[in-house]
Structure 1
């Protein structure tokens, strides 16, 4: 009986050491976000453009009667996304008690990776002011995943600005 309880505790510890991530692409780069922050992933719907919105704001969508601001992560991170394609997805997340959509080139998979395979972002990356949204870099076989800290993707000012758009 003691052995069974010990095995169960070891299994629970192993589960807690795993990160479950939604993996998506922007141009040629792969990014990951904690699945617990993701409400849903939808195909690219029709977007209504908002005049005089910040450049990274793609517009707003109606998601089952709820108006949601959609930001283009490619524009926000200054990454040239692919040309228009049918794979564009919107990852719906909650940031600072506000639901927003993040437009990405494609969503590829949900992965579980050990937290031990995540390294802090290199200093050269952390030195950039706009890179405080990078939580770390995940190593998976021959792939590197840039892990985003969604709490820092938008500044407090930008979050407030988006809440005023809706």
Structure 2
């Protein structure tokens, strides 16, 4: 029996996880450059130690109601192909270790979340499930092209 590790976090009332192997780092919410005409789910750009980080609002990307950020909000950073991207989450709870036997394929109908983002479902206990997101599938190839163009047009605003 294999054990897998996940970063467990909340967005809205839901518990989510992402395989720890996808996560580059977890950082505090920082000041971002707002870019006019950016897609609604892009929160902004920031300079992360000399690299441009595009920050996505995971609430908006998952179709949830927006809310103000607070001191618990974090940014989970991942590499998508060769892009460094970040996702705002309401809070990061813990790193958890899960036996493979508690991990299941995503059911045919999952409410309120676009299925392309979901990789698995974890049974945390008898009454609680955690949706495992694949943060590298959060945008389509067309959106990725749009993001690359967006970064290239705006990175000088961030790296100055």
After superposition, give the CA deviation of every residue in 1:119-143 in whole Å (9 maximum; x if it has no partner).
11111239x9931111111001142
Gaps of 5+ in 1: 1-13
Aligned equivalents of 2:41 and 2:87: distance in 1?
Answer: 10
In structure 2, the gaps of 5 or more residues are 152-160
Extract structure 1 runs of 4+ deviating beyond 3 A. Answer: none
Q: Does residue 46 of structure 2 align to residue 69 of structure 1?
A: no
Q: d(CA) in 1 for partners of 2:66 and 2:36?
A: 22
Of residues 99-108 and 153-162 in structure 1, the stretch that sits farther from structure 2 once superposed is 153-162
How many residue pairs were aligned?
A: 150
Greater helix percent: which structure? 1
What are the superposed Cα offsets for residues 37-58 of structure 1, whole Å, 9 maximum, x if unpaired? 1111000000111111111000
Q: Corresponding residue for 1:19?
A: 4
Please report the RMSD computed on the Cα atoms of aligned residues, expressed in angstroms: 1.8
Q: Who wins on radius of gyration, i.e. which is larger?
A: 1
TM-score, structure 2 normalization: 0.87
TM-score normalised per structure 1: 0.84
Q: Which has the higher contact order (CA 8 A, sep 6+)?
A: 2
